[in-house]
Structure 1
Amino acid sequence: MVRKLPYLVLFYSLNFCCYAQESIVNCTDSTFCVPGVIGLPRSKGIVIKREIVRDYSISSKSDEYGNSKAELRRNRRWEFKLRAPIIMKDGFKMAAGIKYFVEEHNFEDAENLEYPFYKNLENRSLRSIRGEIFMVKPTKTNRFYLLRLSGGLNGDYGSDSFAKHEFFKFSVSPLIGWKKNDYVSYAFGVAFSYNFGRRSIAPIIAYNKSFNNQWGVEMILPAEAKLRYSTLNQKNFFYLKSELNGSNYSVRLDDNQKELLYLNKSEVRFLLCWEREIHDWLWFGIESGLRSNINFDLSSEVGFNADTVIENKLNAAMVYNVSIFVVPPRRLLK
């Protein structure tokens, strides 16, 4: 029993988000209603992901730095995520998480690059480390409340030339929702975030609907929409999805630069995904699809009204990623 204790502690900690998704047959006065619906997979507590985008071009225009073009061999990215509970009560749940990723860009003929922005991308990785807090407030009616807070460092924050607060970014998303029945839930809210590459405020519509135990749709608009299919034993999940990804990095073009610039990155992806159980609590996932760039500009400030220093255009490219992740074991959910 002593040998099993560390594993039980780990799986108990990973159980938070999946517990919030377990189906509740009736949202009566004696039952707390939660936002999950039948058919959703168990939530991911630990995720390690490797991603690559290959063979695409970039063209740049700037009054200050001039114009240029180049070819990229690949854009590689490592990602690590961890989530664990803080509070687990019937009337209130809270979880905390950490997310770290690092991505690098590799150009063709890198040793002959002259354009400052391209040299910066080749020589410096784009990194992000963020902390997150998730709160769920069920009620004894069919209503629930959600809140997500996130904050961290984005960009070349290892530099000693700038204070760490200049790399800090945060986001907040409050929502109010209703669970119509075991197969349908929806919510409305607002997001202060960088999903469009620049700091912005946008409405959110979340909608989960399961047509049966195998087919369903999951939406968090405008960020993501998924069509879901699972085998009867729920050991295989298949997704057809589109997603909007965005981030904002504080960067510098050279060591003598006195002020930071801001890389506004946003893109839309169209993906096919397969997730497969290896063991009860251990899974892997594979994704492949098309990435289409929306924004990859450098600006002097954050926000939609900021002046663009370098306007960049990337052509569409194929994206591939593979992940391995840990979910709560089934026996802890019974």
Structure 2
Amino acid sequence: MQKILFYLLMLTSVLSFAQEDTTEVVDYGKFGDAEGVKRYCNQKVINQLPQRIISFGYEHQGGFTMPGVRASASSSTVQDFTVNQVSSLRAQVNIPVISNTKIIWQVGANYWASRFNLDNPGNNSFAQALNSRALTTTGINTTIFKPLNEKNFLIVQASADANGLFKSFSDISSDAITISGAAIYGWKTSDRNMIGLGISRTYRAGQLLHVPILFWNKSFNDHWGMELLLPARGHVKYNFSTSNILQLGFELEGNQFLVNLPNSQNGKVFLQRGELKPRVAWDKKLTGFLWMSAQAGYRHNWRFDVMNGYDARETSQRYFSSNLGNPFYFNLSLNLVSP
């Protein structure tokens, strides 16, 4: 069994500081040189969604078609399958390690396991593997929020994930590991607006990409606002109250997965899976710091390419590509949030 320990540095939060008492005029000349109190911006805007510390959820996708699955490495024949449903369990933990006015450092772990239920996988080795084992992503991450002054900040994030159709931990190897990260420089112009620009290394679309990032959290008034981290996700939200929030938007999810396939070119292939999810989400406080989240939307297939090499892109390295059907989905989760 190979260890999977990596780093990560990303999003984190909080920081505001004291104000000087100016009710009394003081002659600082009596005491030598005076030093002002340096103030720092924090990571939140007014009416922002609370940050999740611990989250457990279940996701269900309806039935859809899976066409064009290659029968074997020695055959160019392709087969069409029907997926009855995809059921997923999701969990996430994010724990602050350091939280003060000068820096916030957070570390976390995540788990996402999807079970594909095929109508009849037959003798197709890839369909059999997908039907018999969970497509799993599990990993660690870290985020740093570093305020530079009252208006400027840095966000640095990194994550390492093990991804694949695993029978046991012994199936995990370096080929299953993907490394992602992001860095953002931003401006907090008011308590209702913060914006940043950066760059990201990501597998969210199923394939390794290096893309620019737009980070923008803004509250237009006491009810309307938006939270963007483009191109990964973006939502417009309506606050019925500070504990009852409706969102409309999307998220792009995915990764590259190792699949051990004995009859393939090297005994293994790599599934590059990306999903675009337009959705409506409702977040509601149940009691104390316990919140419920419900999502409903449409899972659009961004990429479902099976390749013969790690991070492969060329057509010559493609084992097959399937244009999956696009079902509706729903997601329910319970979340312990920060104050």
Same fold (TM over 0.5): yes
Give the direction of change, closer, same or farther, for the CA distance of 1:243–1:95 in structure 2 (3 Å limit). same
Deviation at 1:29, TM superposition (A): 6.7
Q: 2:148 aligns with which of 135, 139, 164?
A: 139
Unmatched runs of 5 consecutive residues or more in structure 1: 1-16, 330-334
Identity %, equivalent residues: 22
Deviation at 1:134, TM superposition (A): 0.5
Helix, strand or coil for the counterpart of 2:175? helix
CA deviations on 1:227-275 (whole Å, 9 max, x unpaired) are 111123x121100011111211011224898532110001211101111
**8 Å CA contact retained: 1:29, 1:141:** no
- Tell me which residue corresponds to 2:336: 326
- Tell me which residue corresponds to 1:185: 194
CA deviations on 1:194-240 (whole Å, 9 max, x unpaired) are 012111211111111110122101111111110111123x1211000
Helix, strand or coil for the counterpart of 1:314? coil
- How far apart in 2 are the matches of 1:24 and 1:240? 34
**8 Å CA contact retained: 2:213, 2:229:** yes
Helix, strand or coil for the counterpart of 1:166? helix
Could you tell me which amino acid in structure 2 is paired with residue 32 of structure 1? Y
Deviation at 1:145, TM superposition (A): 0.3
Could you tell me which amino acid in structure 2 is paired with residue 95 of structure 1? Q
Q: TM-score, normalised to structure 2's length?
A: 0.84
- Tell me which residue corresponds to 2:133: 124
Q: 2:269 aligns with which of 261, 266, 284?
A: 261
Give the direction of change, closer, same or farther, for the CA distance of 1:60–1:229 in structure 2 (3 Å limit). same
- How far apart in 2 are the matches of 1:292 and 1:222? 15
- How far apart in 2 are the matches of 1:23 and 1:52? 41
Matches within 5 A, 1:156-305: 156-159=165-168, 164-232=173-241, 234-254=242-262, 258-303=266-311, 305=313
Deviation at 1:190, TM superposition (A): 0.8
- Tell me which residue corresponds to 2:27: none
Write 1 or 2 for the structure with the bigger share of helix.
Answer: 1
- How far apart in 1 are the matches of 2:285 and 2:305? 40
**8 Å CA contact retained: 1:150, 1:170:** yes
CA deviations on 1:86-128 (whole Å, 9 max, x unpaired) are 1112111101001012111001135xx2222211110121112
**8 Å CA contact retained: 1:77, 1:101:** yes
Q: Which structure has the bigger radius of gyration?
A: 2
Could you tell me which amino acid in structure 2 is paired with residue 309 of structure 1? Y
Matches within 5 A, 1:1-150: 20=13, 30-60=38-68, 62=70, 64=73, 65=75, 66-110=77-121, 113-150=122-159
Could you tell me which amino acid in structure 2 is paired with residue 102 of structure 1? A
Matched positions, count: 308
Could you tell me which amino acid in structure 2 is paired with residue 251 of structure 1? V
Helix, strand or coil for the counterpart of 1:197? coil
Unmatched runs of 5 consecutive residues or more in structure 2: 1-10, 20-35
